[in-house]
Structure 1
Amino acid sequence: MEAEIKSLIEQQGQAFLDFKAKHDGDIEQLSAAMDELFKKANRPPAAGGGSWRGDEIKSKLASYIKSGDMSLFGQKALTTATDSGGVVVPKQLASEIVNLQQKYSPLRSVCRVVQIETLASNYSQPVNTGGVDSGWVGEVDARPATNTPNLSNVDFPDSEVYANLPISQWFEEDARVADWLVNEIAKEFSRKEGAAFVSGNGVKQPKGILAYATAATDDDTRAYGTIQHVVSGDAAAIKPDSLIDLLYTLRPEYRSNATWLCNSKTLAAIRKLKDGDGNSMWQPALMQGQPQLLLGYPLLECNDWPDVSENAFPLAVGDFRSAYYILDRTQTLLRDPFTAKPNVLFYARKRVSGALVDSQAVKLLKISA
């Protein structure tokens, strides 16, 4: 009996060896494929390919906030900023900050926002200031030279907005500290840049719309870079006729994309205005999520805009996407646990600028003296 059992075991072992010899290549190939799959599933994407999800980025940001360990995320999510010792905010998180900024900096929602990565300190935008001419001719008439376009450069101020946020070390232990930090950065950046986009003087900050010269002359005679204004006709109020005059100083190609801008106090006064037939010039939004209207065009509240007063410009209308450009650059975040104990300082900075590109695309209402 023992001899029979031993013989069967030897046959079983030989059968396994025969099977393994026959299928060994297939087994090794399958094992290699599974190993590679597991490697991909447990590593960040290779350079140049893909990116982490927003929730993964926030998780790593929260870990960085608590520990300061930049090796947690390598070079794909929050990358080392060699010039500041901090980390570069990734595009996904930067986009979220910019979206939040629109709540507090309304011009971002109507102006053209340009993402640039140039290493140059200053950025210039070439623009066509007009001058093209043409003429009528017959079949065999000579074709003399006509005027060529006048090209100019708009120089954007080299400027930076920052926030330096103290956070208690206890608060760092909060799992939602990353969400809080994103919101606080967005609000702080927005307060600074929102005012600058309206009235910034262009020195270490954007040059705001109201920082440019104005004139009552029309588009055909007014110098490039000077905004046309319409006088209200009253030193203390906005007149209904002045709104109509202001709107129709815009050329049709700009008026088709026009938006009104004013602050809440001016809006309250506008809501009381009636046309000659007693109809309200202001109309509410037809449904949630749509803008309120003034003379049929969207009206946006911007509380950095000035109040109604003598010689002030409390109301603007225009195609702001054509008129004003906002430039965004890379954002960085620095964790400083040493300077302000028991707080940890989070220093966020962003190079952002703005300038008027097309002075014909926006018009201003000027309150009479």
Structure 2
Amino acid sequence: MKTELRSFEVRLAGTEQEPRLIGYAAVFGQDSAGLPFVEKVRPGAFKTSLESGQDILALVDHDRGKVIGRISNQTLSLREDDKGLLVEIKPNLETTFGSDVVASVKRGDLKNMSIGFVCQKDEWKNDIREIIAADLKEVSIVSMPAYSGTTIQKRNQEGKNMDLNERELRQKLAQAKEKQSALLEKKELTEEERGQQLELAKEIRTLETELASFKPEPKQAAPAVILSAGQDEQRTAFVNYLRGKSYDTRAMIVGTATAGGYLAPDSFLAEVVRKLNELVVMRQVARTITISAASVKIPRLTDSVTAAWTDEATAIAPSQPAFDQVTFTPHKLAALTLVSNELLGDSAVAVESLLAQLFAEKIAEVEDLAFFKGNVTGQPKGIMTEAGITRIPTAATDVISADEIIALYDALPPAYRASATWVMNPATMGAIRGIKDPPLYQYLLISNMVGDTPNTIFGRPVLLSGNMDTIAAGKDVILFGNLARSYYIVDRLGLEVQRSVDRYFEQDITAFRAIKRVDAKLVLADACRILKMKT
């Protein structure tokens, strides 16, 4: 049967002041393409979902950071007609991506719509799948229709067109994991049972390797398209995976195919990120951006428009802003932690929170050092290694004066002072704690004794990092500036987690490996200044 590309066209309507994006996110009875099977959507498939009143989002390229409409504020309208699921979006032109998507649709760069949904009921006839009922999650304006690449579609196909040998391997794998889980639940193991545990671990690894040969070449998917079971099911499956118990693979999101790991659910990732924000000093003040692509380019102003007093009848000197681009390519950061099997088997231990804490501590230690002093290929570029930042020199090699701290403050352009932060080593703060402003004989460093409020200098907070140099000849000892404007941290979406019971089998320990990807660079050198000790 000949199939056609599942491409649902979107068009621009309304006025320039109040544009509307209109199109079909699904066409009833139309064959899909790009799947290992043919799929159709039955009329009325979204009826229950639309009548439920749940808040459905309109996105750009399935990016939940780019919401251009939603049911709850009546900027997204959805209804089924004889043709399919009709969508009408009222984008917000006050946002950059809202204006961009309107311009791109108008020019024809973006002309398709796609949907993200969880299948509630389907029917198979002669290897053709028909969606009878679906829980609609979002609709997206896309350059290429993402519907045919959604992970949920591939997962729902499991068990239908599956090769007989693959079925047998999956059954053997499930049986082996059940036996392994039964052994893990025992408090003590005999020598014979320990031998069985080792053989089971080897068998599971062999079966997983053989099953990997059946999987097609993976296609990169946008985050919102990775729709599996609900968050509760994802979390339960992930925790069971961590404990070494049986888990539903359909509720798990596969990470890098060659690594064999799984992407952590949103709840686990959010907890790791929250702890990183607490532990990594630079994350508390720099601008953080999350991307789903392999890299991103951000424009940087290198030369601004100038102004000058000009006599009458005298030519005005022309000037124009100049930009270049900073490319961020998140680098691979891996962390390995060990947890005893006894601890994993204790149901009273929140293994998810424990691993989030362990991973965050290890990742934070490496990240913060790179954000300040990274100067090696394959890691973020540290802000203190940037030669383009203006340095304010001291008169001595081992002492800082009040005038030098005042000079550092005055050197920062006033536009950046209101949101500026001081960053220094704890030892440096100790050295300047007793410095007084000569005219007023008041301490420059104001200590705050209440709660977690930071100390301040000239009303701006002081943050401490052990990765800043201490006072010594030729060292950069104090960073002052609006770091949200000057330094960007770019995180790649997702955290991949893999477990291994083989490596430390003799010690009854399970190893866990986490992989995240991050990059960071200076974007605006003028927004910060550095105090440099005399050489």
Q: Which amino acid aligns with 1:110?
A: V
Structure 1's 58 and 322: CA in aligned 2 closer, same or farther, altered over 3 A?
A: same
Structure 1's 144 and 228: CA in aligned 2 closer, same or farther, altered over 3 A?
A: closer
Q: Percent identity?
A: 26
Q: Residues of 1 paired with 2:459 and 2:262: CA distance?
A: 46
Q: Which residue does 2:350 correspond to in 1?
A: 176
Question: 1:350 pairs with 492, 497, 516, which one?
Answer: 516
Structure 1's 312 and 235: CA in aligned 2 closer, same or farther, altered over 3 A?
A: same
Structure 1's 309 and 145: CA in aligned 2 closer, same or farther, altered over 3 A?
A: closer
Please give the TM-score of this superposition, normalised by the length of structure 2: 0.53
- The alignment partner of 2:495 has SS state of strand
Q: Residues of 2 paired with 1:199 and 1:280: CA distance?
A: 30
State yes or no: 1:153 paired with 2:330. no
Q: Residues of 1 paired with 2:432 and 2:246: CA distance?
A: 54
TM superposition shift of 1:176: 1.7
User: Any gaps of 5 or more consecutive residues in structure 2?
Assistant: 1-47, 53-119, 121-133, 139-226
Q: Which residue does 1:249 correspond to in 2?
A: 411
Bigger mean CA offset, 346-355 vs 294-303: 294-303
Structure 1 residues 209-220: aligned runs within 5 Å: 209-213=383-387
Q: Which residue does 2:444 correspond to in 1?
A: 281
TM superposition shift of 1:191: 0.4
State yes or no: 1:360 paired with 2:526. yes
Structure 1 residues 73-88: aligned runs within 5 Å: 74-75=250-251, 78-83=252-257, 84-88=259-263
Q: Which amino acid aligns with 2:451?
A: Q
Structure 1's 363 and 136: CA in aligned 2 closer, same or farther, altered over 3 A?
A: closer
Q: Which amino acid aligns with 2:400?
A: I
Q: Residues of 2 paired with 1:333 and 1:158: CA distance?
A: 17
- The alignment partner of 2:471 has SS state of coil
Cα deviation digits, residues 59-114 of structure 1 (max 9, x gap): 44321111264526x34xx5111422111123332222111112321110100000
Bigger mean CA offset, 122-131 vs 318-327: 122-131
Q: Which residue does 2:114 correspond to in 1?
A: none
Contact 2:310 2:316 in 1 (8 A): no
Structure 1 residues 1-369: aligned runs within 5 Å: 46=135, 48=137, 59-67=236-244, 69-71=246-248, 74-75=250-251, 78-83=252-257, 84-118=259-293, 120=294, 122-133=295-306, 146-174=318-346, 175-213=349-387, 226-276=388-438, 277-285=440-448, 287-329=450-492, 330-341=494-505, 342-369=508-535
Q: Residues of 2 paired with 1:46 and 1:56: CA distance?
A: 16
Structure 1's 311 and 142: CA in aligned 2 closer, same or farther, altered over 3 A?
A: closer
Structure 1's 157 and 312: CA in aligned 2 closer, same or farther, altered over 3 A?
A: farther
Q: Which amino acid aligns with 1:333?
A: V
Q: Which residue does 1:16 correspond to in 2?
A: none
Q: Residues of 2 paired with 1:318 and 1:127: CA distance?
A: 17
TM superposition shift of 1:338: 2.3
TM superposition shift of 1:339: 2.7
Q: Residues of 2 paired with 1:48 and 1:314: CA distance?
A: 50
Q: Which amino acid aligns with 1:160?
A: K
- The alignment partner of 2:248 has SS state of helix
Q: Residues of 2 paired with 1:302 and 1:163: CA distance?
A: 21
TM superposition shift of 1:304: 1.0
Q: Which amino acid aligns with 2:279?
A: Y
Q: Which amino acid aligns with 1:229?
A: R
Q: Residues of 2 paired with 1:56 and 1:143: CA distance?
A: 70
Q: Residues of 1 paired with 2:360 and 2:448: CA distance?
A: 27
Q: Residues of 2 paired with 1:271 and 1:137: CA distance?
A: 48
User: Any gaps of 5 or more consecutive residues in structure 1?
Assistant: 1-32, 38-42, 214-225
Q: Residues of 2 paired with 1:57 and 1:243: CA distance?
A: 52
- The alignment partner of 1:335 has SS state of strand
Q: Residues of 2 paired with 1:131 and 1:82: CA distance?
A: 43
Contact 2:287 2:487 in 1 (8 A): yes
Q: Which amino acid aligns with 2:401?
A: K
Contact 1:261 1:317 in 2 (8 A): yes
Cα deviation digits, residues 25-50 of structure 1 (max 9, x gap): xxxxxxxx9xx99xxxxx9x946369
Q: Residues of 1 paired with 2:396 and 2:314: CA distance?
A: 55
Contact 1:227 1:364 in 2 (8 A): yes
Cα deviation digits, residues 248-277 of structure 1 (max 9, x gap): 111111111110001111111121211113
Q: Residues of 2 paired with 1:126 and 1:70: CA distance?
A: 45
Higher RCO (C-alpha 8 Å, min separation 6): 1
TM superposition shift of 1:152: 0.7
Q: Which amino acid aligns with 1:335?
A: R
Cα deviation digits, residues 94-136 of structure 1 (max 9, x gap): 2221111123211101000000111x3x433211212424577
Instruction: Give aligned pairs, total.
Output: 310
Contact 1:337 1:343 in 2 (8 A): yes
Q: Which amino acid aligns with 1:191?
A: E
TM superposition shift of 1:162: 1.1
TM superposition shift of 1:314: 1.1
Please give the TM-score of this superposition, normalised by the length of structure 1: 0.76
Q: Which amino acid aligns with 2:434?
A: K
Contact 1:57 1:93 in 2 (8 A): no
TM superposition shift of 1:325: 0.4
Q: Residues of 2 paired with 1:138 and 1:125: CA distance?
A: 39
Contact 1:68 1:335 in 2 (8 A): no
Bigger Rg, which one: 1
